[in-house]
Structure formats: structure tokens, C-alpha cells
Amino acid sequence: MSKRSLAVLAVFLGGLNTASAQEWQWHGFLSQGMIQADKSNFINQSGKPSIALTELGINGAKQLSPNFRLAGQVVYLDGGNRYPSGLKLDYLFLDWALLNQLDWQLNAYVGRFKNQHWIHSSTRDVPLTRPSIVLPQSVYFDPFRDIAVSSDGLALKSSIDTSFGNFALNWSLGATPLSEQQTKLLLGDRVDGRSRQKYVHQASAFWQPEMSHWTFGVSLLDSEFSYRDASAELFYDADFMVQRFMLNAQYHRERWQLASELFQERMDIRGFIAPEFAIAQFGQGGYVQGIYQLSADLRIHAMADYFVANKDDRRGKQLMAMTQGEIPDYFGFQHSLSVGVSRDLAPRVRVQLEHHWVHGAARLAPVVVPDLITNRHSHWQLWALQLMYWF
């Protein structure tokens, strides 16, 4: 859906206002931090401490009639090299309550909606909702943020309560406009052509057994992209396909909680390097994250994250051999351990600090033509400090 279509939708919905409508509800968040990733281009090329850790957002929602609701959010993000920075229309959609019964709810969302299929996908930019400042890159790969966070199209969400527990079912079909900056993040600084997401089709199911502290989930993703080369450049027209199958589990106790997501992802590339070039590989990854509440306002967390770009080449040896040693083996994987602490300084004010130890460079942008100059080390570290406020 184009920006013009979204504007027309907004004007149309403004006209739906009825006497039964309620007032606008407003919420927002402001956060600023400091971050450093030495020996890698994760934040910047220099590896020096940076203030490129800004996340601001404001959202509004209005009940237009008993079954229709309008919601929108604008964010300003600066994450350095992690994702395209700037002002973004995060979501703007019409929410239609198709079924609203005590044991069964079904909603349809039309417009730009958030990805509701993974544990943190719908609020990955909202600092107060995240267990850590930097999410596990195996699943929440930052250079893919703009593609994975929202889509323009149609989504359905249903919740069903049965004697076996609660089932939440999600389905969505749409596409995300890709900016020039996003294209360079994915493909490399030297590309001059344009990329386009043809579609992204997703489905997920979450099950919380009755009287259980566990929640289990499964999600599927199928997406295609195209690249059309600019005249007089090194690269060729290309088609990319990404498919992901993911399982997740969450466990909640009064003072601690665990979450894990495990996936296998297929990536096909046709063209780009040469007209006849074709490659298909299966990546695998996942993380386990734990949070412990030390007191009402103090919590600690720890995380182990694992990712291999090719499950048949877990140590990157084939990658290095295939490129005659030009791409080092550590670009074939990325594993990390992290610890952190967060403290509530006042109601709706929190400070968070964390440290990551990382081995590998497979989740550093650009993906297809990696940055071999900055990322000359197989081991690197990251620390981040963030202050946040929300209302």
C-alpha cells in the first residue's frame, strides 16, 4: 500500500466518526542511550561509543464505532548501522472486530499493521517491552527490521478459549516498501539498483494450556524479493526467497521467566552476482533468554543466542573455500552470550545496561556482500546503556 493510499484511508476513516465513538487515546515512549560495538560495524565503522540509540514513538487510537477502531503510530529511530534511521509510519490500520464473544474473538486489520507472529516482533522498537536493549540477532536480525516489523496489507487475529486452554491464531499477507538505505543494508554499499518485496505471507499459533505457566507457539513465513539493477553497475537482476519455520516457548513464574525461539530459514538467491548464479541454503538459529526479578524495581537478564547461515556449514569452512578465502569462515555463523540489568527509577522511567560477547559476523550488515574491511575480527563485544520514559 502506497503512502497516498494510507493517507486516503486515514481521511476516509476520519469520516466514519460516529456518536458512539470514544475519545482518542494517546501513548508514547522516549528513550536515549549510548552503545559501543568494538571491532565490528554493528553500530558504526569506527567501533567507538555512539549515541545512535534513539527510539521515540507516539501512537493514537480511536474507537470509531462498536466494531471499528483506528490506530496509528509514528516512530523516530536511530540505531546507527543497525537499520535505516529516521521518521517512520510504524502502523496505521483499521481494526474491524468481526467476532466479539466471551470465548471467541476475531479481528481483521487493514492498512499497515505490525508483525504479531513472533514473541517480540510487534513491539521490538519499544524499549519498555523488550527484555534487552539489543534483541537476539538470530531471530530479530536488525538489518531486516524494516521488513520484519510491519506490512501493508491484510491481517487476521483470533483468540479462542477452550477446555484445553487459550489458542491465539494470526495470519497476514502484505508487503513492505524498501528504501534505498534498506537495499544497501541487505545487499551491500556498492549496489545502485532498486529492491522490492513482492509479498510476505505469515501465519502463527500460540497455545497456553489452561492453568499452565507455559505458552507454546509456532510461526511460518514465506516472502519473495526482487532486485533490478541500475545501468552500469557490477550486479545483475535477482530474485530472493526467504522461508522461515519457527517454534517458541515461554514460561512465567512470579519472579522469573524464560523465553526461547528456534527456527530454520531457507534462503534462495537467483542472479545478482551473475545472471545464472543460483544458491539455496538453510540457516538455523535460536535463543534462550531468562529474566529474574530481584526486587519490585530491579531485574537481571541473561541470554544465549545461536545462528548459522548454512546448517551444512556450521563453521563457515565451505563459505571460505567457495570464495577462495576472500570471506573468512566466521561470516558463516554468529553466536553470543549476554547479561544485563534494568532498574525502574520512577513509575514509567527505567534505565537498562547490558553487555554482549559475540563470536562470528553472520548477522552483521550487509548480508549478501559483507563488510570485510571493518569486520576483521571473529570475536567482538557490545555494551549498551539506555534510559527510557513512557506514557
Residues that bind another protein (CB under 8 A): 22, 25, 27, 29, 57, 59, 61, 63, 66, 71-73, 91, 93, 95, 97, 100-103, 105, 107, 109, 113-114, 116, 122-123, 126, 128-129, 157, 159, 161, 166, 210-211, 252-254, 293, 296, 347
How many CA within 13 A on the CB side of residue 198?
A: 12
Supply the minimum distance, in Å, between the C-beta of residue 329 and another protein.
39
Task: Give the residue with the Cβ less far from another protein, 122 or 183.
Answer: 122
Q: Which is nearer to another protein, 40 or 170 (CB)?
A: 170
Q: Which are the contacts of 110, defined by CB distance < 8 A and separation ≥ 6? A: 9, 93, 94, 96, 154
Instruction: Give the shortest CB-91-to-another protein separation in angstroms.
Output: 5
Q: How far is the CB of 161 from another protein (least distance, A)?
A: 4
Q: For the CB of residue 355, give the shortest distance to another protein in the complex, in Å.
A: 24
**What's the 3-state SS for 162-194?**
ECCEEEEEEEEEEECCCCHHHHHHHHCCCCCCE
Alpha-carbon distances, residue 192 vs 22, 146, 176, 180, 233 (angstroms) = 48, 19, 19, 8, 7
CB of 247 to another protein, least distance (A): 20
Minimum CB separation of residue 129 from another protein in Å reads: 5
Closest approach of Cβ 360 to another protein, in Å? 31
d(CA 18, CA 64): 6
C-beta closer to another protein: residue 105 or 318: 105
Radius of gyration over alpha carbons of the chain, in Å? 21
Beta bridge partners of 279: 269
Contact status, residue 130 vs residue 118, Cβ threshold 8 Å = no
Listed in order, strand segments (DSSP E) in the chain are 25-37, 54-65, 68-78, 86-100, 104-114, 150-162, 165-175, 194-209, 214-228, 238-252, 256-271, 278-295, 298-308, 334-346, 349-360, 379-390
Q: How far is the CB of 299 from another protein (least distance, A)?
A: 9
Smallest gap from Cβ 14 to another protein, in A, equals 17
Considering the complex, state which of residue 79 and residue 328 has its C-beta at the smaller distance from another protein.
79
- Strand 214-228 and strand 278-295: pairing? unpaired
**C-beta closer to another protein: residue 1 or 382:** 1
Complex with another protein: residue 72 or 285, whichever CB lies closer:
72
Residue closest to 360 by CA, chosen among 287, 288, 301, 305: 305
Q: Give the dihedral of Cα atoms 355, 360, 365, 369; nearest 10 deg.
A: 170
Handedness of CA 223, 132, 208, 91 (dihedral sign): negative
Give the DSSP H/E element, type plus range, for residue 44: none
Closest alpha carbon to 70 in 49, 47, 94: 94
Q: How far is the CB of 165 from another protein (least distance, A)?
A: 8
Closest by CA to 206, choosing from 172, 171, 239, 235, is 171
Nearer to another protein, 12 or 357 (CB): 12
